[in-house]
Amino acid sequence: MDNIQKFISIIVLSAIFQGCRESERFEINYTDMTPPGKPVISEDYKPLYGGARIYFTPPEDEDVLTVDASYTNQKGEIFWFSSSYFTDSIDVEGFADTNPQKVTIYAVDRAGNKSEPQTITVIPKEPAVSRVAGSIAVKGGFSSFYIDWRNELKQVVNIHVNYSYDGQEKVAIYTSTDTVERKFIRLENISETTPVSVKVKVEDRYGNISNIAASSIHLIKDEKIPKDKWIIPITNDSIEGVPQGYWDAYEGRMIYITDDIIDNGLNWNWGSTGPKGHTGNVKDGNLPANFIIDLGEEWEISRIITHQRDGAQAAPNIPTGRGWYYATENIGIYSMYIRDNTKPGWDSIRTHKIVFPPDLPGQQYRVMAQAGDMAYLYPEDPHFSAPTRWFRYEARFGFNNDYTAQGAMGLSEITLYGRRKK
């Protein structure tokens, strides 16, 4: 046996010996009935929004595993929190208000024995539910209304929306963890004179519920701009210095993007920019890629609905069942422009980011994507654009790599809404 083999043998035997000792230690602790010493609690806690950070010194018992905290809310429900004894603090959350709250702290050893409990009274800051509820804004829009809120703490909250009109009552619930969120609710057949009552409340995972924010709004009527008069410039035709992009790569065709048929994973109904270096691509496959539309007559545009390509033809075995939605070869960020015939060039409207909703079942992604992503041209102050005959959609980035992908991109459908020039 050479020196290397001897060294390895020593390491293995040492590991086995240590493992046996550790196993014996766990066995001893498992039958131990002696509770550990109590942690020393500092009175200098840190108030948190809806909670507190409590500092402690763990007991010196060698078998201490965690330092735990618990409290009982006004409904009699007990909430429990745990922190490793390697740390010096524990965060307790879920308080319903800013009133003083008693929290119990105790150490737990490997056998499950608990130390003598310690109690500290804390005064938390404003809870997340009331902070989120206070930021809620409801605004009437085009055949829809939308709700904005802020959740800078990024705590899990549920937004309950009850809305009613013409004797009908409906409910929508959204789970939020993002700092800023906006959700649209479509009501396509509601007149501008019909009031819509909206009530919103916020609930957290600890059962706390905010006061109800109530609004009465009216929608703005628009209509789908008919596509039978649209004229699509051919690839490389320039409109005010901007060339029409190449969308005929692979099985994709430019004409499919405005035919009112959505790609469903079987019908191959989409346009594609192709990869870098693809023959005939004006921009060598790189984004941005423009899709320019001549509306055939002047319209005042209100909003756009885009549909992604499914991609199931190319990836039929994706286990999530979502195809390529919100991922590969689909556009996540695009910009919008219109032309004012009274002056040269293109007027920039805004850049829109299609929000990727994480951690949903595959089928839910399909439902959302096939409904289409809707974006207002002017979301902060919903109104119609200036009269225009020309609209330019500029694909900028795909979803992949945190919205930085610029390879081949597909687009299934563009639909515009507005009103005829007054």
Q: pLDDT tens for residues 63-105? A: 899 999 999 998 899 999 999 988 999 999 999 999 999 999 9
Q: How many domains does the chain have?
A: 3
Q: Are both 239 and 304 inside the same structural domain? A: yes
Q: Are both 208 and 87 inside the same structural domain? A: no
* Proportion of the chain above pLDDT 90, given as a percent: 68
In a domain, 10, yes or no: no
Q: Are both 228 and 320 inside the same structural domain? A: yes
In a domain, 258, yes or no: yes
Q: Are both 229 and 340 inside the same structural domain? A: yes
Which CATH number belongs to the domain containing residue 411 in this structure? 2.60.120.260
In a domain, 7, yes or no: no
As a whole number, the mean pLDDT across the chain is 87
Q: Are both 169 and 150 inside the same structural domain? A: yes
Q: Are both 105 and 166 inside the same structural domain? A: no
Q: Are both 333 and 370 inside the same structural domain? A: yes
pLDDT range class, residue 285, cuts 50, 70, 90: very low
Q: What is the reported pLDDT for 60?
A: 87
Q: Are both 235 and 355 inside the same structural domain? A: yes
Among the candidates 76, 106, 122, a domain finishes at 122
Q: Are both 55 and 172 inside the same structural domain? A: no
In a domain, 154, yes or no: yes
Among the candidates 202, 217, 232, a domain finishes at 217
pLDDT, tens digit, for every residue of 110-168?
Answer: 889 999 999 999 999 999 899 999 999 999 999 999 999 999 888 899 999 999 999 99
Q: What is the reported pLDDT for 318?
A: 54
Residue-level length of the chain = 422
Q: Are both 213 and 229 inside the same structural domain? A: no
Which CATH number belongs to the domain containing residue 166 in this structure? 2.60.40.10
In a domain, 1, yes or no: no
Domain region containing 140: 128-217
* SS3 assignment for the chain: CCHHHHHHHHHHHHHHHHHHHHHHHHHHHHCCCCCCCCCEECCCCEEEECEEEEEEECCCCCCEEEEEEEEECCCCCEEEEEEECCCCEEEEECCCCCCCEEEEEEEEECCCCECCCEEEEECCECCHHHHHHHHCEEEECECEEEEEEECCCCCCEEEEEEEEECCEEEEEEEEECCCEEEEEEECCCCCCCCCEEEEEEEEECCCCECCCEEEEECCECCEECCCCCCECCCCCCEECCEECCCCECCCCCHHHHHCCCCCCCCCCCCEECCCCCCCCCCCCCCCCEEEEEEEEEEEEEEEEEEECCCCCCCCCCCCCCCCCCCCCCEEEEEEEEECCCCCCCCEEEEEEECCCCCCCCHHHHHHHHHHCEEEECCCCCCCCCCCEEEEEEEEEEECHHHHCECCCCEECEEEEEEEECC
Q: Are both 344 and 255 inside the same structural domain? A: yes
Q: Are both 394 and 265 inside the same structural domain? A: yes
- Point out the least confidently predicted range of 30-34, 173-177, 228-232: 30-34
Tokens of 167: 């004797």
User: What single letter denotes the amino acid at residue 97?
Assistant: D
pLDDT above 90: residue 301: yes
In a domain, 108, yes or no: yes
Tell the residue number behind the tokens 């009699």, with chain if given: 76
Question: Any residues with CB less than 8 A from the CB of 236 and at least 6 apart, and which?
Answer: 243, 244, 246, 282
In a domain, 14, yes or no: no
Q: What is the reported pLDDT for 359?
A: 77
Among the candidates 166, 183, 217, a domain finishes at 217
Tokens of 404: 């930085």
In a domain, 16, yes or no: no
